[in-house]
Structure 1
Amino acid sequence: MLSIIQKAFGTMFYNMFQLIIIALFMLVHPLLTAASSLPLTTADPPIAKSGCQDICGNVSIPYPFGIGEDCYHSLPYAVTCNTSLLSPKPVLSKFNYEVVEISLENTYTHTIVVNTPLQRTCSVQDVNITSIDLRGTPYWFFGDSNALIVGGCGSSTLLLDRSNKILGGCTTACDKGHTITNNCTGRGCCSIDVPSSLDFYRLNVFNFGKGDNNCTNIMLINKTSIVNKVVDPSLSEFAVIPTVLQWASGNIAVPSDDRNRYCYPAEGPLEDFNCYCKYGYYGNPYLPYGCQVPRECKGCKRGCSKDGNLYHCIGIDRDPNTQRIIWFIIGGSIIGLMLCTGNMSCIYLCIKRRKHMKLKEKFFHQNGGFLLKQRLSLNQGNNDSTKIFTTQELREATNNYSKNNILGRGGFGTVYKGNLPNNQVVAIKKSVVSDQSQVEQFINEVVILTQINHRNVVKLLGCCLETEVPLLVYEYVSNGTLFDHIHNDGPRWLSWEHCLRISTEVANAIAYLHSSASMPIIHRDIKSSNILLDENFTAKIADFGVSKLVPIDQDQVTTLVQGTFGYLDPEYFLTSHLSEKSDVYSFGVVLVELLTKRKPISWETGLEDRNLAMQFISSIKSNQPFDILEPQLMKEASQEELITIGNLVDQCLSVKGEDRPSMKDIAKELEGLMKKLKHPGSNQCDKGNNGLVSVHKHSCVQSSQDQNTSRQINFEKELILEMSSPR
């Protein structure tokens, strides 16, 4: 209960709640105690016969035991109180053993603890040692409470009963420097279990130890005693050992008033019995009227319990007026506690709401909210549909950002799939922000996306700045990335028509970013994993986290190099000069991926073939262009199409940016190829082609089937001639 309150209200209010509880307890407890508990007393019902001494030293002597004539039942129960010592000691007269404790409160067993002498033998011959002879007495050894311990270095001991039947045995041995512990397992000390109801035993001891100290100590000891002291070979031969005996009432006549007591046969070797008082009664069951309800318990309706020598009622069942007062106090306390808790809750909720508002303001400022407002205000016409989402909306949409909703991870955050209340499926980007520069990067992405309105660019639906990490909400593109379809065997193979159309759509989108947006935008991270495909295989460019706005009066900017190796413009990498031609180079690598179905960087190949762009250029220079192209695309594409695409890639991958075409020219060239693909009957050798590549007359394809054999040879020659000719 308290832990729940602590979690709900916080540490400060949890401490206040504890103080209120303690104060109420201090107020109510004395009243409850006075009303429900009986007067405390140390006066027990009598345990000894009338006029007899019932205690010696600090040991109680209950009947049938007794001190003096007519105070005990018979001689086995006679006790002498030795007052000649500094402290009086009770002695069991029949055996002359000091009594440590006598108990008759246990329901099933009556016990007496006596100090018995240590038994020692130092002989190298077989020695017979006998125990206390309890035969014919109301006593027997309590097997469950005693342990027969043999201590020494080199001895073998057998336990036998009165008929010489072996009951058990053990052997001891010592290592040099061995220390005896409570665990007697044979190294300097061993133990033998004592059977129940045993009133006599004999020990056969053979001592085979060597050296000056080859004595063996034997004792029947209470298991609660410290073994490693009593088995010490240097222990005095006059030492005494606490031993537990069970006893029964023998031939004691049970008083006739047996309504308040039970008697049952004892476990011992004789046909004796034990008696005990019924529940709620206390005293000595062997005395007439010995089991009584204490005066202090007579008003108890639910029974009385004893704690030491103190009695108290169980429950609250005293005077009805007192009960009403108690319930009034309890009810008032509960109402007061509820009022205090309610007030605390209101105060806490107000403070929590205010704290939450301040925290959201802090995150809004920390995540560049004011900077975003400032930049969005400059583009008010372009961000009308941008929505500011709350943290609660996005938490519910992503099922509390469940791992099952993760679509992917990148260098600048994690993308989750979400379902908005209107059943719209969205992609939610949880950015990773560690410093101020990355905050600006995040704001940069928001500003860029609010300015873009193109069917082949992922649409930004809104953002959330109320959390520690900023969140962007995009339209959801369901068919994965282009990278997945090329390299991970996607749902369907990308045919030549798909490849050409996707390339055209991506080229148009990049051309739009470079020239059609309000301010030119350089994406800086064009790659197949940042190109998403919808269910119709329509391409959409995503991830503008590292994009750069370029002033209209500039064609390049100097900036920190960012991007992905394999797609990164080498000129930009070496000079840090970023221009639109950097995106052209990255787009060229994507085209090579489509043509070859290979990854931009391969760590499984040699150093020379590790970079796909360099591998493609090398294949052209070595007149082996078809060794790298995907065979399936070569079957589907025409000669002119592959020659055009091959030349286009070759130009895009030029080391110098000035030798690369613009994305606008690339888009026009690809659109021309798409038109010819849709209208296969058109003249493929149209001289009016104003694109980047002029196709030679001898590259045209005859439609007759008798030229199929020579088609591939002419195609290879033409492609080599076109790509190896100087630009």
Structure 2
Amino acid sequence: MFYNYLFQIILVALFLWVHPFPTAASTPPTTADPPIAKPGCQDICGNVSIPYPFGIGNNCYHTPPYAVTCNTSLLPPKLFLSKFDLEVAHITLNRQDSVALYPHTIVVKTQLQKTCNNNTQDVNINSSIDLSGTPYLFSGDFNSLIVGGCGSSTLLLDRSDTILGGCATACDKVHMVTNKCTGRGCCSIDLKTSLEFYRVNISSYGEGVNDCTNTMLINRTVIENEVVNPSLSEFAVVPTVLEWASNNITADSDKLNRNCYPVASPPENYVCYCNYGYYGNPYLPSGCQVPRECKGCKQGCFKEGSQYRCIRSNHGPKTRLIILLVLVGSIVGLMLCTGNISCIYLCIKKRRHIKMKEKFFQQNGGFLLKQQLSLNQGYNESMKIFTTHELREATNNYSKHNILGRGGFGTVYKGILPDNQVVAIKKSMVSDQSQVEQFINEVIILTQIKHRNVVKLLGCCLETEVPLLVYEFVSNGNLFEHIHNDGARWLSWGNCLRISTESANAIAYLHSAASMPIIHRDIKSSNILLDSNFTAKIADFGVSRLVSIDQTQVTTLVQGTFGYLDPEYFLTSHLSEKSDVYSFGVVLVELLTKRKPISWETGLEDRNLAMHFISSVKNNQFFDILEPQLLKEASQEQLVTIAELVEKCLSVKGEDRPSMKDVARELEGLMRKVKDSRSDQHNEGEHVLLSESRHPSFQPFEDQNISRQLNFEKDLIIEMSSPR
């Protein structure tokens, strides 16, 4: 105990000797910051600084995306980003108080997008610029999509047409403009994640003489009333924040003075910062330096505003002498305490490691996971808890070459465990509590599922800053890729039926055979994976819901993918098992026609695949939309049978749809008929398939009220495709 007290006294003395109290003794008012641009290159235009990798002229920027120009004919001169011809208002390079993993930003002025429409036809507007293939992203931390106008409904979509958000505006006869943007003349959609491209779908339902709508992606911290005024000219510009990161710019010789961290997207890019005590540009050779004003500071220095100040001691000679005597007198005790010091150091290090693991465990919802597993009694004893070291080794330190794909909630890597087992590791991007709950939700659901056509969860890791899930590896990609690949000739009629049946059985299991019914909520072809034998496996349970046995439906926030979304769920927010049935019906049409669920290039009636299918059946044109290969391989009776099944699945009213169990039973029966038919063909000779794709006598639906029902379904699906 005595040695411990002595050790504490020595530590205090050392601290006071080495780190004296700072004072505000200032240096001369003029300071010289380390350079931010390459030698001989212009480092300012107007009032905008130009740090490297940006630059004006040859050999002053790193690569073409960083090239800028200075228009000196304007007063004051203005800086422009050459690749997109956008005015630059500000470029951030280094923030001493920021979190190192945050990317740098550049504020540019983008053009307002204006659309005027006096009818109810919807309009699609692409983002003002496409940032794919560049080091830039539209920042999700700073930007909001602002919609100004009267009588319009707006959807924000990403490149794959996934709904990112939506809002609507309404006004009196006189436009009401407000900076609240809560719907009266103006509404806003916050970006939840950074994007390289976005699409805006606007449906106008105003009846005024000036039904114009302004849309703009704008820095939400500078929104003003005038920005959302519908009378603004289409030539108006607004400040938009872009994130930027560098690729391999820095040199290894500078690694002692700066640190670089990888960013999530693009994965090969980095953000770099000077280490504490160094200032300057970390992207220049020897760009992080000790400023000239600090080189004479014996105790170090710090930056205050635009000036550097030395740290000076408040301790006089007498105080220092006392400290020195204490240190000399403690040398003997220090030598005796060497063993204790080593022990204390190891204990502190171990305690820090344990606390860090506990922090990440709690941050990633570990306690919530334990509680939910206990409540649901779904813990899989074979599920393994992996360490960070194991998964880092398995993925070659999460190399970009091991990336299998990216989704709305994370990135999936291919990994090889020490026993040579190949796995897929999902690294979630947790930024708020709601996404932690998404992660826990997926674990809870997957631990309760044991089915050959559902992707198996092998384990998880909660010791890292972002949570990790380890799945079985499914080697042949997803069904969407194969359907829309012109070379995928293996998708014969028999294989289409087999994959449909396997998927239907898996979904039926989720609905009825699991310990608690599970509604997937995002059934689509890209979530049906194919293993080495082309066996179907349902994946991605990030937005799924557990439903009590005594519940038939739940009310929840609408989530899913545009084109597969159940119209009844879209309009009422009432989620049921029949919502999965509708989405599966769209997948069946996708298999039959080899067309995408949403096509923005076609007319309004043909845009939605489900609506196009219903219309074709009504007009006796079903065979016209089928994929030619299936027409050659399947009989007319078989195609009519599956058409009737799809028509039932796509009923707008959920109560009119069959259960997934009934769908699976129908498909299994159709498969048996196909096998029997092939057996008969083998015995009786080669079967000649009727090749006409149009048959005047094809009437699969004989209900006298079917025309009225199809018109009702068509109207509802059009309303879902063009939300108001």
TM normalised by structure 1 equals 0.49
Q: Larger radius of gyration, structure 1 or 2?
A: 1
TM normalised by structure 2 equals 0.49
